[in-house]
């Protein structure tokens, strides 16, 4: 069975969106085509291509790779193609950590369980996991993103609420920073799409 979508056309359309959003110099690199197609098929809920790419459409995305390889840009562009129930809000982990300093533990509630109403649960993409540090609120140190991820796992299991993450960290570095439990939960709730270490810094 073939996909109903024309991926070269979709990529050309998205590249034009990128030029409008990020400037005329924006373009997709040939080396990144497969990863971009994986993202497109995921957000279009293309079951045929997802099976070919071994992607689980019930999970979120962990987009990993070196600094400057375009992770944040790609996830921003994917909001143009995401199906309605796959729409998501981008939030940097650094901003969340600053919110924690000001607002305390309600920040964890805000980005994990929300309210008791199912309509308040939201899909998020937590951008740049690993740049934030353990922060203190009234003297209490907290690994904010670890707590949010563990809570997001609970609502993924109970409510099928989707979480996406971008990160420069490897799996081993994630375990070092957030613990084995978080790494295990990420494995269960996210598809890994990774750029290799040879990906050039597109911001240069």
Q: Tens digit of pLDDT for each residue in 35-77?
A: 999 999 999 999 999 999 999 999 999 999 988 888 999 999 9
196 has a pLDDT exceeding 90: no
Quickly tell me which residue has 């000001």 as its tokens: 102
Q: Please tell me the distance from the alpha carbon of residue 101 to that of residue 155, in angstroms, as a whole number.
A: 25
- Intra-chain end-to-end CA distance of the chain, in Å: 41
Bigger pLDDT: 37 vs 103: 37
Q: Which residues pair with 141 in a beta bridge?
A: 136
CA distances from 185 to 59, 129, 141 (A): 11, 15, 22
Count the residues in the chain.
204
Residue 86: predicted pLDDT: 86
Residues 194, 53 contacting (CB under 8 angstroms): no
Residue 83: pLDDT band with limits 50, 70, 90: confident
Q: Please tell me the distance from the alpha carbon of residue 202 to that of residue 67, in angstroms, as a whole number.
A: 9
The residue among 203, 157, 204, 196 whose CA lies nearest residue 32 is: 196
User: Mean pLDDT, the chain, as a whole number?
Assistant: 87
Residue 114: predicted pLDDT: 57
Residue ranges of the domains in the chain? 56-194
pLDDT, tens only, 105-153: 888 889 987 544 444 688 999 999 987 765 554 445 578 899 999 999 9
What is the topology classification, in CATH, of domain 56-194?
Rossmann fold (3.40.50)
Q: Please, which residues have CB within 8 angstroms of residue 108's CB and are 6 or more apart in sequence?
A: 100, 142, 144, 147, 148, 151
Q: In angstroms, how far is CA 189 from the centroid of its own chain?
A: 11
């Amino acid at each position: 069975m073939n996909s109903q979508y024309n991926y070269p056309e979709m990529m050309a359309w998205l590249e034009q969106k990128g030029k409008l959003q990020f400037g005329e110099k924006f373009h997709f690199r040939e080396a990144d085509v497969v990863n971009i197609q994986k993202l497109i098929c995921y957000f279009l809920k293309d079951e045929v291509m997802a099976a070919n790419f071994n992607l689980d459409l019930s999970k979120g995305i962990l987009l990993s790779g070196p600094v400057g390889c375009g992770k944040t840009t790609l996830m921003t562009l994917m909001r143009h193609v995401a199906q309605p129930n796959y729409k998501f809000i981008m939030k940097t982990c650094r901003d969340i950590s600053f919110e924690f300093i000001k607002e305390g533990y309600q920040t964890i509630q805000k980005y994990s369980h929300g309210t008791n109403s199912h309509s308040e649960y939201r899909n998020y993409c937590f951008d740049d996991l690993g740049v934030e540090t353990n922060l203190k609120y009234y003297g209490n140190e907290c690994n904010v993103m670890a707590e949010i991820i563990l809570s997001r796992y609970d609502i993924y299991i109970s409510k099928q609420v989707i979480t996406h993450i971008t990160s420069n960290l490897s799996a081993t570095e994630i375990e070092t920073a957030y613990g084995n439990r978080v790494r295990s939960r990420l494995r269960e709730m996210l598809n890994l799409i990774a750029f290799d270490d040879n990906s050039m810094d597109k911001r240069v």
